[in-house]
């Protein structure tokens, strides 16, 4: 590693995130040492974001740092895990320390809010990309899996899906918006807020859970495939935000909610007997029932098979 990069690690990536008593050794040695609590299991996730693929190349570095951690927090949220320790692998095109410092600030702010310590990583030169390995804990046996859904259960979604895909489209000049709606939708793409508290609260209530990164319909298909079930959702029950409806109209808003990506909301199943308990959760206010688990027959929305253009919403706007 070049001497410049050694200094960059010291100035940008040391002491980031929350201080945690269970970190025995953080940045500075060959590896980190942490002490997971007794009676818990480690839950591990790693997601990479690549410039031009997962975010537009000109995205401000603070938002890139936020996203690098947020996508992993969302994976842990979907498992019902409490996040704790992160490793960061970052590849930078040049030794642009101002860029790295802003990137680190975006990651640091989100990490502190979720009590995550940055305990190590790797810094390299090359095309801009960032990987975070995030570790958290669940009480032994308590994780939420994709595979637990059963016919007759409810399908729930948190938040207002579709907003982030609209925000990306606005950034890329494929969708026009103004005023507060524009700001709302841009923020939903640039600063996603993973549902960590909700995931933890759903332990023992949800039977299956997945975070929505590739579009609600496609991610529901993955959950159903893992559970050996189908699902029937009602498009009229989708929680569409006023900002999305004002900007895109009902038809496009519905399509973005079903097939747009980058929502980082939780899609989960639970028996009807859990409705009251879910409604009573502090984080449950954001959750809506959108359908039911069926014994088979794939995923259907308002009686129709899935839209086949699931992806990142690119198909919705033409060129
Ligand atoms: P090694 O050569 O032993 O792999 P490095 O010189 O790459 O170690 O890294 C030195 C220390 O800095 C290690 O503790 C490593 O975890 C940490 N580190 C390197 N890059 C980052 C980064 N981007 N974020 C956090 N910690 C980092
Ligand atoms: Mg070493």
Residue 35 alpha carbon to ligand 1 centre in Å: 20
Minimum CA distance residue for ligand 1 atom 11: 28
Scanning the structure block, which residue is given the tokens 């079903």?
A: 258
* 81 SS3 class: coil
pLDDT at 65 over 80: yes
Q: What's the rounded Cα separation, in Å, for the pair 262 and 74? A: 10
> 202-234 pLDDT, tens per residue?
999 999 999 999 999 999 999 999 999 999 999
* 319 SS3 class: coil
> 233-285 pLDDT, tens per residue?
999 999 999 999 999 999 999 999 999 999 999 999 999 999 999 999 988 77
CA atoms within 13 A on the CB side of 182: 10
* Token pair listed for 213: 């990164």
Scanning the structure block, which residue is given the tokens 């990506």?
A: 261
Minimum CA distance residue for ligand 1 atom 8: 30
Q: Judge residue 243's burial from the number of C-beta atoms within 10 Å of its C-beta, 0-12 exposed, 13-18 middle, 19 or more buried.
A: buried
Cα-based distances in Å from 204 to 84, 271, 294: 21, 11, 21
pLDDT of residue 307: 61
Ligand 1 atom with the smallest distance to the CA of 1 is 6
Percent of the chain with pLDDT over 70: 95
Strand partners of residue 91: 124, 129
Domains and CATH numbers, the chain: 5-139 (3.30.1330.10), 154-310 (3.90.650.10)
DSSP summary character for residue 10 = I
Predicted TM-score (pTM) of this structure:
0.94
Minimum CA distance residue for ligand 1 atom 10: 28
Minimum CA distance residue for ligand 1 atom 9: 122
pLDDT of residue 189: 97
Ligand nearest to the CA of 28: 1
> 136-178 pLDDT, tens per residue?
999 999 999 999 999 999 999 999 999 999 999 999 999 999 9
Residues in the ligand 1 pocket, defined by CB under 6 Å: 1, 9, 13, 27-30, 88, 90, 118, 120-123
> Which residues are placed with Cβ below 5 angstroms of ligand 2, an ion?
30
Q: What's the rounded Cα separation, in Å, for the pair 141 and 109? A: 31
Instruction: Ligand 1 pocket test: pick from 16, 27, 85 the residue with the most ligand atoms within 8 Å of its Cβ.
Output: 27
What is the pLDDT averaged over residues 174-189? 97
């Amino acid at each position: 590693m070049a001497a410049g990069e050694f200094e960059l690690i010291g100035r940008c990536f040391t002491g980031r995130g929350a201080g945690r008593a269970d970190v025995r050794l953080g940045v500075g040695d060959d590896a980190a040492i942490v002490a997971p609590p007794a009676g818990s299991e480690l839950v591990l996730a790693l997601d990479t974001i690549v410039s031009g693929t997962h975010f537009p190349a000109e995205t401000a570095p603070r938002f890139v740092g936020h996203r690098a951690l947020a996508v992993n927090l969302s994976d842990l949220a979907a498992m019902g895990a409490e996040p704790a320790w992160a490793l960061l692998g970052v590849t930078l095109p040049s030794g642009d320390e101002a860029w790295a410092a802003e990137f680190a600030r975006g990651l640091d702010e989100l990490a502190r809010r979720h009590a995550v310590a940055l305990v190590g990583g790797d810094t390299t030169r090359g095309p801009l990309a960032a990987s975070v390995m995030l570790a958290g804990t669940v009480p032994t046996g308590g994780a939420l899996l994709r595979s637990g859904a059963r016919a007759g259960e409810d399908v729930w979604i948190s938040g207002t899906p579709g907003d982030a895909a609209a925000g990306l489209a606005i950034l890329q000049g494929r969708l026009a918006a103004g005023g507060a709606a524009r700001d709302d939708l841009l923020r939903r793409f640039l600063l996603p807020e993973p549902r960590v508290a909700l995931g933890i609260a759903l332990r023992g209530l949800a039977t299956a859970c997945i975070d929505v990164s590739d579009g609600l319909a496609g991610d529901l298909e993955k959950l159903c495939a893992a559970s050996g079930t189908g699902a029937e959702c009602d498009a009229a029950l989708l929680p569409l935000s006023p900002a999305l409806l004002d900007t895109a109209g009902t038809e496009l808003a519905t399509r973005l909610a079903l097939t747009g990506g980058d929502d980082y909301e939780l899609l989960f199943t639970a028996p009807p007997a859990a409705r009251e308990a879910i409604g009573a959760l502090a984080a449950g206010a954001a959750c809506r029932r959108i359908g039911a688990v069926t014994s088979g027959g794939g995923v259907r929305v308002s009686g129709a098979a899935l839209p086949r253009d699931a992806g990142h919403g690119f198909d919705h706007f033409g060129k």
